[in-house]
C-alpha cells in the first residue's frame, strides 16, 4: 500500500488527485493539505509520496521541506525553469534516498504530443506553438509549452537547422509571441477552455499541425497515479512523465 499526501488538495487538480488516490486500491490517502496547513504534520505520518499541485510561488519551499525530510514527491505544479531545476537537483543530491518527479503534463496524449513534436522539429524550417488554457491559470506560457519548445529547440540544434525565416521588421510587442529557446510561443486564455496545445510546423509546400486537447482534468489522473507508483523506486530528479512510460 502506498501512503500518499496531497498538497493543494482544495485546488482544481489537487481535488481530482485526492479522489483518484482514494479510489485506487493500492494507495491510501494520509493527508489532504492546502494553503495554511503545516507540512510538519507529514513528519512521522508514514507518507511515502507527496503530490504537489499548488502554485509556482509555493512549490519551491514545499520541495525544500519535503526532500530534506526524506519524502518522495510527484510535482504537477508548473513554472520550472533551468535555475529552479538545478536547485532541486542539488537538494536531491544531498538526500539520495528521495525520488522526485516533475512532470509539466500528466496527460498521456500530451506526453506523446511532445514526443511527436520533438521528432518533427528536425525536419521543418518553421515551428511555432499556440497553447490555450482557462483564464484562471496564473503562469504563461504553460509548463507544457515551455518544455515542448525546449525539446524542439534541442532537436533543431542537433539537426543543424538554420534560424527560422521571419521577415518581420515592425510589430506590436508580443505579436510574435515569446521565444522559449528558438520557438515562438503564443498563449491564449479564455473561459471554456481547459488545456490545449497546437504545434505548427512549416516546410516548403506543406504544413504539419500536432494538436492535443485536455477536455477534463480527469485525463491527467492515470499519469499522476503512474508517477506515484514509479517515483518510490527511483532516486534523484526525473523531469517528464515520458521517463516513466
Which residues are catalytic, by number? 133, 137
Q: Which stretch binds ligand NAP (CB under 6 A): 51-59, 92-100, 155-163, 168-176?
A: 51-59
Binding segment toward ligand NAP, per CB under 6 A, in 43-51, 71-79, 88-96, 114-122 = 71-79
80: contact with ligand NAP by CB under 6 A: no
Binding flags for ligand NAP, 112-141, as an x/- string (CB under 6 A): -------------------------x----
Q: Which residue is nearest to ligand NAP (CB)?
A: 11
Q: Residues 47, 76, 98, 161: which binds ligand NAP (CB under 6 A)?
A: 76
Task: Answer for the pair 177, 200: CB distance below 8 angstroms, yes or no.
Answer: no
Cα of first residue to Cα of last residue in the chain, in angstroms, is: 21
Q: Report how far residue 51's alpha carbon sits from residue 63's, in angstroms, rounded to the nearest whole number.
A: 10
Q: What angle do CA 120, 125, 130 make, to 5 degrees?
A: 65
Q: How many residues interact with ligand NAP (rule CB under 6 A)?
A: 25
Binding to ligand NAP by residue 184, rule CB under 6 A?
Answer: no
Measured CA to CA, the distance from residue 219 to residue 107 in angstroms comes to 6
Q: Is 215 in the site for ligand NAP (CB under 6 A)?
A: no
In the set 80, 106, 124, 201, which binds ligand NAP (CB under 6 A)?
A: 106
**Of 106 and 201, which CB lies nearer to ligand NAP in the complex structure?**
106
Contact pick of 19, 22, 23, 35 for ligand NAP (by CB under 6 A): 35
Residue whose cell numbers read 520550472: 80
- Give the start-end residues of each E strand in the chain: 2-7, 27-33, 49-52, 72-75, 99-102, 126-133, 178-180, 183-189, 195-203, 206-214, 236-239
Q: What are phi and psi of 121, to 5 degrees?
A: -55, -30
93 burial via Cβ count (<10 Å: 0-12, 13-18, 19+): exposed
For residue 130, the minimal CB distance to ligand NAP (Å) is: 17
Q: Does 47 bind ligand NAP (CB under 6 A)?
A: no
Task: Tell me which stretch binds ligand NAP (CB under 6 A): 76-84, 93-101, 113-121, 160-168.
Answer: 76-84
Rounded to whole angstroms, how far apart are CA atoms 156 and 117?
11
Binding-site ranges for ligand NAP (CB under 6 A): 7-8, 10-14, 33-35, 53-56, 58, 62, 76-78, 103-106, 137, 220
Amino acid at each position: 500500500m502506498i501512503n500518499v499526501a496531497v498538497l493543494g488538495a482544495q485546488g482544481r487538480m489537487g481535488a481530482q488527485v485526492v479522489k483518484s488516490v482514494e479510489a485506487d486500491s493500492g494507495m491510501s490517502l494520509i493527508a489532504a493539505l492546502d494553503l495554511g496547513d503545516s507540512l510538519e504534520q507529514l513528519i512521522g505520518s508514514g507518507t511515502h509520496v507527496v503530490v504537489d499541485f499548488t502554485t509556482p510561488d509555493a512549490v519551491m519551499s514545499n520541495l525544500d521541506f519535503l526532500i530534506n525530510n526524506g519524502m518522495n514527491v510527484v510535482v504537477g505544479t508548473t513554472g520550472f525553469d533551468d535555475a529552479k531545476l538545478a536547485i532541486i537537483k542539488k537538494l536531491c543530491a544531498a538526500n539520495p534516498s528521495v525520488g522526485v518527479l516533475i512532470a509539466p503534463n500528466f496527460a498521456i496524449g500530451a506526453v506523446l504530443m511532445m514526443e511527436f513534436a520533438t521528432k518533427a522539429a528536425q525536419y521543418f524550417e518553421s515551428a511555432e506553438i499556440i497553447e490555450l488554457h482557462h483564464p484562471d491559470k496564473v503562469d504563461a506560457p504553460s509548463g507544457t509549452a515551455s518544455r515542448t519548445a525546449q525539446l524542439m529547440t534541442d532537436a533543431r540544434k542537433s539537426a543543424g537547422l538554420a534560424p527560422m525565416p521571419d521577415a518581420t521588421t515592425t510589430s506590436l510587442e508580443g505579436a510574435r509571441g515569446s521565444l522559449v529557446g528558438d520557438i515562438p510561443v503564443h498563449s491564449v486564455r479564455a473561459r471554456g477552455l481547459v488545456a490545449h496545445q497546437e504545434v505548427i510546423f512549416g516546410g516548403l509546400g506543406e504544413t504539419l499541425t500536432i494538436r492535443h486537447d485536455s477536455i477534463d482534468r480527469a485525463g491527467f489522473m492515470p499519469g499522476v497515479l503512474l508517477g506515484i507508483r514509479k517515483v518510490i523506486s527511483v532516486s534523484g530528479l526525473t523531469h517528464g512523465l515520458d521517463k516513466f512510460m
